């Protein structure tokens, strides 16, 4: 019996010794990881390293993820001693001014699935040892100075889904065995010096939906069965094949510009879902494409194809900026003459086009002036008619003042859904089922000149605005009892309310927030650049951005809006919402489009952060800040790379919009273009 007890005691002692040794080894390992990070990690502090921003640990405390973006390190990648983290699954150090070459020990981090060193200053040839990382799904080395030929051993990475090698100096051909990357979804080799032909095996990649080979020296054919891609850009190469696309074609983006492509364009007609099409600077023959045959097309360029003729049977798209369209406009003929020398055409365009455009601009300016005066006179006449006028632009023309009184039970508080800058907003559901929003100017406010001016100003401004992301004004009512505006009803209320509610904020996910910001940007770009004279809103805030049932953003509340007179100093009293007003208004009192740009930047940051950015505005102006410190903590961190890049783009644009010097801010047209890339 005592022998058995002794044996059990010895076994317990041995087990305890083994556990203590394991714990000690783990502690030593954790200590070495923390020590390695402390040497260079910018966000280190006294807390445990697993709590540091951008560091992700396993349940036992080992570092499995490192993510650092846009923080200046300015050192050799070798000096970061990343070999101290053998269990890394994800490693992303982007735009941190890293120098030198990628050390070979990176190829020993066998658990890596994500590896990104984009936007640094790394050099050398393609790191062949990276092909040992057989679990890798995401590889991004774009925006560096790598050179030499791409290694055929790249195809060892059979799990690879995303490969970004753009904006380097790679040369030589694309490896012919790329077809082995059967799971590849995204391939970007653009802006290198790659030569040779596009390998036939690329056409066998069944998962590939995005292919970007732009700005290289590729020659030969574009394979017709690449048309099953969603995105294809092979512009600025030396491709010279006849164009051929096969059905079904899933392309939404096609750019073949600046090559030597030949043949007719009719084969592209199988790509019915195209939204972007650029064919300029090639050798295509026959007729131009009839853009009306594409349902979703937003941009098309068929210019600088000398052997293309304009379509005689149908009008050209407004967005078709080809030479053929200019010929039609200037000569009054349906097609361009193929024998017209290029320099003669350019000469005529140089002389007559500015004259025609100037004349059209003057006509447009005169029409806007007449319309503005007519609206102002209409309001004045209707006000003088006994105060009992209701002008509602509706479907059947029968809605009157009494209909809204009945629908709101004489503006009962239970129908009130909010308060605007100079009145309350009510929901009015009429018998035929249509719901309107009524902004009612109260009796007291109607007797105040400033409120009355804002009310009539909003009518004048909105009457002339036509944009899908500007709230629609159906009409107005000037009555001896009360005055109100009749708007399109927005089911989701204001952006401020959506972000203030924890339940609604989670429903407004990252892409919905990015799209709302884009909607607002396009609306402001329209007001600033497509209206004559330009219109400045002067009160852009999250309270004045409304959301419909589809979570689309609409700019509202134009009571403070102002037309910009190019011949005036445009001095103004300070109006707007505190926290959104551009700082220069405090000392020069001059309103211009850059005031709206500043307010837009604040709203964009507020949308991403989930609350007003506050002190973050100063931080972004002075030193920059990590993405994790900006994001709304109520939503999970975006794991999808494309969504993360969209958010980063929004934050970069917003940071430029809130710059203290208004001259350094972008225009809203620039902002809209960047966000739509």
Active-site positions? Answer: 539
Nearest Cα to 489, choosing from 405, 407, 427?
A: 427
647, 624 Cβ separation under 8 angstroms: no
What are phi and psi for residue 195, nearest 5 degrees? -125, -175
Residue 161 labelled as part of a binding site: no
How many Å apart are CA 288 and CA 303, to the nearest integer? 9
How many Å apart are CA 604 and CA 576, to the nearest integer? 17
Neighbours of 549 (CB within 10 A): 9
Dmax (CA) of the chain: 115
Give the H/E segment covering residue 277. strand 276-278
Nearest Cα to 106, choosing from 140, 129, 76, 134?
A: 129
How many Å apart are CA 299 and CA 672, to the nearest integer? 15
**Tokens 């401004």 found at:** 461
Long-range pairs for 510-514: beta carbons < 8 A, 24 or more residues apart: 510/635, 510/638, 510/643, 510/646, 510/647, 511/643, 511/646, 512/551, 513/607, 513/608, 514/643, 514/646, 514/647, 514/650, 514/675
How many Å apart are CA 573 and CA 589, to the nearest integer? 6
SS3 breakdown of the chain: % helix, strand, coil, rounded to 5? Answer: 40, 20, 45
85, 63 Cβ separation under 8 angstroms: yes
Structure tokens at 149: 């030929």
Binding-site sequence positions: 439
Binding-site sequence positions for ATP: 439
């Amino acid at each position: 019996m005592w022998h058995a007890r002794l044996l059990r005691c010895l076994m317990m002692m041995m087990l305890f010794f083994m556990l203590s040794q394991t714990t000690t080894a783990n502690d030593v390992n954790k200590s070495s990881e923390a020590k390695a990070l402390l040497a260079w990690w910018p966000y280190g502090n006294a807390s445990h390293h697993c709590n540091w921003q951008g560091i992700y640990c396993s349940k036992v405390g080992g570092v499995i993820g490192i993510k650092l973006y846009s923080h200046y390190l300015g050192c050799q990648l070798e000096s970061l001693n990343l070999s101290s983290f053998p269990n890394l699954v994800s490693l992303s150090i982007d735009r941190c001014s890293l120098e030198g070459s990628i050390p070979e020990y990176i190829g020993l981090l066998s658990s890596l699935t994500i590896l990104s060193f984009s936007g640094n200053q790394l050099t050398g040839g393609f790191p062949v040892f990276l092909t040992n990382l057989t679990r890798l799904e995401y590889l991004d080395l774009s925006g560096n100075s790598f050179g030499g030929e791409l290694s055929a051993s790249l195809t060892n990475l059979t799990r690879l889904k995303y490969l970004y090698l753009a904006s380097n100096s790679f040369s030589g051909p694309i490896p012919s065995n790329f077809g082995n990357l059967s799971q590849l979804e995204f391939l970007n080799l653009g802006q290198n010096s790659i030569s040779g032909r596009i390998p036939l095996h690329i056409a066998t990649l069944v998962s590939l939906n995005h292919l970007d080979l732009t700005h290289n020296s590729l020659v030969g054919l574009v394979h017709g069965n690449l048309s099953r891609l969603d995105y294809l850009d092979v512009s600025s190469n030396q491709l010279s094949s006849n164009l051929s696309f096969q059905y079904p074609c899933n392309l939404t983006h096609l750019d073949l510009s600046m090559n030597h492509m030949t043949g007719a364009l009719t084969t592209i007609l199988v790509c019915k879902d195209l939204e972007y099409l650029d064919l300029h600077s090639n050798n295509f023959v026959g007729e131009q494409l009839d853009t009306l045959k594409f349902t979703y097309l937003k941009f098309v360029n068929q210019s600088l194809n000398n052997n293309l003729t304009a379509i005689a049977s149908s009008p050209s798209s407004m967005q078709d900026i080809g030479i053929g369209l200019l010929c039609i406009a200037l000569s009054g003929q349906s097609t361009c003459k193929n024998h017209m020398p290029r320099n003669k055409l350019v000469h005529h365009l140089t002389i007559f086009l500015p004259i025609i455009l100037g004349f059209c601009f003057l006509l447009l300016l005169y029409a806007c002036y007449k319309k503005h005066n007519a609206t102002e006179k209409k309001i004045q006449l209707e006000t003088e008619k006994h105060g009992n006028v209701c002008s509602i632009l509706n479907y059947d023309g029968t809605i009157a003042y009494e209909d809204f009184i009945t629908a709101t039970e004489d503006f009962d508080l239970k129908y009130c859904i909010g308060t605007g800058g100079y009145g309350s907003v009510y929901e009015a559901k009429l018998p035929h089922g249509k719901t309107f929003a009524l902004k009612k100017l109260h009796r007291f406010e109607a007797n105040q000149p400033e409120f009355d001016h804002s009310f009539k100003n909003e009518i004048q401004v909105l009457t002339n605005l036509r944009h899908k992301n500007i709230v629609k004004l159906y009409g107005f009512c000037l009555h001896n009892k009360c005055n109100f505006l009749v708007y399109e009803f927005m089911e989701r209320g204001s952006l401020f309310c959506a972000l203030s509610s924890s339940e609604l904020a989670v429903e407004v996910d990252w892409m919905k927030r990015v799209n709302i910001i884009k909607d607002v940007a396009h609306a402001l770009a329209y007001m600033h650049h497509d209206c004559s004279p330009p219109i400045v809103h002067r009160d852009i805030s999250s309270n004045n951005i409304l959301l419909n049932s589809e979570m689309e953003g609409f700019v509202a509340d134009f009571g403070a809006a102002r037309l910009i007179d190019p011949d005036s100093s445009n001095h103004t009293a300070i109006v707007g919402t505190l926290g959104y007003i551009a700082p220069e208004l405090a000392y020069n009192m001059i309103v211009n489009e850059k005031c709206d740009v500043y307010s837009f930047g604040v709203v964009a940051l507020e949308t991403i952060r989930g609350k007003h950015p506050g002190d973050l505005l100063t931080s972004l102006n002075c030193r920059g800040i990590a993405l994790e410190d900006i994001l709304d903590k109520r939503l999970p961190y975006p794991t999808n790379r494309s969504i993360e890049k969209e958010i980063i783009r929004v934050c970069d644009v917003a940071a430029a919009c809130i710059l203290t010097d208004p001259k350094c801010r972008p225009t809203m047209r620039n902002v809209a273009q960047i966000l739509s890339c």
